[in-house]
Structures are given as C-alpha cells and as structure tokens.
Amino acid sequence: MEKYLKIKELFELHQNNENALKMSAYMQNLFLFYGLATPERRAICKDFLKTEQKNKSIDWEFINACYQDEHREFQYLAVDYLTKMHPFIAYDDLEKIKFYIQIKSWWDTIDKYAKDIVGAVALRNSQADELMLVWSRDADFWIRRIAILHQLGRKEKTNTELLQQIIVNNFGSKEFFINKAIGWSLRDYSKINPVWVKAFIEKHKAKMNPLSIKEASKYI
C-alpha cells in the first residue's frame, strides 16, 4: 500500500548496516533492522503520524503491512501509530490489538502495548476490566504480561482490586517476564500507596516469586 511503501523508501534511504547488526544482536538476533535509532525513526515518521491523527480512524491495513515487514522498525512504527491513535481505538478493537501483540512478540513492543495502547483504551472503557482478567489467564505469557502491566502510571486511578486479582492469577509462574512484571506493577503503585503494596506483599509473600518481591520492594 502507498503509505507503507513511502515509509519503506525512507527507511531504506536512512538505513545503517553497522547499527542494524548491533540492534539485531541486542535483540538476540530475533529480528532484522534497518539500523535506525529511535529518534531518527520518529523524525522520519513525524509528519506521517501527524497526518494520520487528523484522519481520526485506524488504518488496520497499514498496521497489517507493518507486521508483514521483516524489519523491526516497522513493528515499532505500528506501535507508535497505535499510541498516537489510541483515542480512536474502540473497546471492540482490543481483540484486533491482541492479534498484532502475538505476532513477533518481544518485550520491546509488548511493554508499549501494555501501558500506552491497551492501558489507555482500558482506562476509558470499564468493560475492559473483565477482559484484562481473561487476558491474565491466557496461555500466551506475553498477553498475561500486558494484563499485569496495563495499569502502569495510573496512580490514584489504579483499580487495586483488579491489580490484585490479575497478579494472583499469575502466582506460581516460572516465567521471568511474568515475575518481573508483577514486581514492576507493584513497584509503580508503591510510589502512590506504599501501605497497600506492603500489605499485599505481606499477605502473599509465600506465593510470590523472589524476583517479584525484590522488584516490588524497591521504593518501600
């Protein structure tokens, strides 16, 4: 499609093979890169994203094209696009979002989806609370990680009952990215309510992974 091809031409024009090898190695050689640093990539796409915001609707064909491309910068662009366009993402679109989350999953895109896309949509759609509980029990641990982290940065708006249940649903996991996420979500909320987090740890410490406790206790 035209949008995708125009961006691809610009990415290819600015590609840096030396950086590409370093970036791929940093990501455990899971992905190919053009070698574009984040500031450079965002500068290239800045005008495009501004124009898209004016359209006030999600171009899912463009997202699909970004995910079909083998270069990781296009998945980063898709995430930047959805972050900018989150006000126009409906609750019913979360199932579409889940589809893309599960393509080429790794922490570099997952954590952006959690807070800036899924979290933003869920904050203004209370029915997403039940969906996040469903996601917290998903077979895919990346989906569970998003459920755990989706309330990051909410501060006083954090739904502690939901946070607690999502975390409890993930007790007993041996997955690093899950146990790290549990600790991270609690650590983030401890900046606002350390008493609640202390009480949570005290109540559940026998079932919590040591990594989760360590991360959660950083500020308390």
Quick check: 140 pLDDT over 90?
yes
- Residues 53-86 pLDDT 10s: 999 999 999 999 999 999 999 999 999 999 999 9
Work out the burial of residue 136: count CB atoms within 10 Å of its CB; fewer than 13 is exposed, 13-18 middle, 19 or more buried: buried
pLDDT, average across residues 137-162: 98
pLDDT recorded at residue 156: 97
The strand pairing partners of 140, in sequence order, are: none
| Per-residue confidence (pLDDT) for residue 192, from 0 to 100 | 97
Over 90: is that where the pLDDT of 1 sits?
no
Q: What is the pTM of this model?
A: 0.94
Residue 83's pLDDT is: 97
User: Which of 91-125 are b and which e, b meaning 16 or more Cβ less than 10 Å from the residue's Cβ?
Assistant: eebbeebbebbeeebeebbbbbbbbbbbbbbbbee
Instruction: Check residue 92 and give its pLDDT.
Output: 96
Q: Which residues contact 46 (CB under 8 A, 6 or more apart)?
A: none
Q: Can you give the pLDDT at residue 82? A: 98
Q: Residue 188's pLDDT is what?
A: 98
Q: What is the mean pLDDT of residues 122-135?
A: 97
Helix (H, G, I), strand (E, B) or coil at 32: strand
Per-residue H/E/C for 64-112: HHHHHCCEHHHHHHHHHHHHHCHHHCCHHHHHHHHHHHCCCCCHHHHHH
For 172-204, the pLDDT digits (tens) are: 999 999 999 999 999 999 999 999 999 999 999
pLDDT above 90: residue 128: yes
